[in-house]
Amino acid sequence: MATIAPAAPVQAHAARCHLVLTFPAQVLHGVGVDAPVPLPLDVHSALFWPFLTFAWSCATSGDRHTGLTLYFMERLLQEMLVGVVVSSLRSQGGPAVSDVYSAALSVIAARVGDPDLRAASVAAELNTSIRTLQRQFSSRGTTMDRSIRRARVAHAVSLLEDPAYAALSIDQIGHACGLANGSSLARAFAAEGLASPSAVRRLPVQ
């Protein structure tokens, strides 16, 4: 279980309150948090207040939701949390993100559904050069483009295998993974040596 603590207390207009969000530790797998430790969050992150506002709305809403809408809300909260954590790790400059390669993987994990996720945008976010990033990935036998594609494909596979997303079309799955359409998703699957997205959806989950 990952323990996340705001760097500064959150104040409500009427009274002081606490909002506790609990996520499986796997949510932060691959983003630079190696163990469940307290992490002061960067409240100046562009995602922090939208994340907190959305989380508060989810916690206090009295509206009825279907299982599908609840699942989408949970996934969105998880993705926003990853973004906040990645930003906080970068601002801390601590040992959790020890090199450019780890930091780049963190950005990719946080932005896997962003259609504008490219090597150049990752380099800009990390304030480093594309050449430096490419060297880091090349030394590990891969490239930035392939790592981004693998992250998108892995995310797509998780959606295709999840019954909660059975109502989504292949095109919609592709969009959720930052790709233009189902054809782009199929090409990404083929490049990773996988069957078509439709075939993956039909395969029994191991």
- Return the pLDDT at 97: 38
- Return the pLDDT at 194: 94
Q: Give the dihedral of Cα atoms 92, 137, 120, 93; nearest 10 deg.
A: 10
Q: State the residue for tokens 């998703």.
A: 185
Q: What are phi and psi of 23, to 5 degrees?
A: -130, 155
- Return the pLDDT at 119: 93
Residue 151: Cβ within 10 Å count: 20
**Tens of each residue's pLDDT in the chain, 206 residues:** 444 444 444 444 445 666 677 776 666 665 556 566 667 777 777 777 787 888 888 777 777 766 667 777 777 777 777 777 777 776 665 433 346 888 888 888 888 889 999 999 988 888 888 998 898 899 999 999 999 999 999 999 999 998 888 889 999 999 999 999 999 999 999 999 999 999 999 876 55
Given a contact cutoff of 8 angstroms between Cβ atoms, the answer to whether 109 and 31 are in contact is yes
Q: What angle in degrees, to the nearest 10, is found between the helix axes of 130-138 and 100-110?
A: 100
- Return the pLDDT at 44: 76
- Between vectors from CA 23 to CA 21 and to CA 124, what angle results, nearest 5°? 95
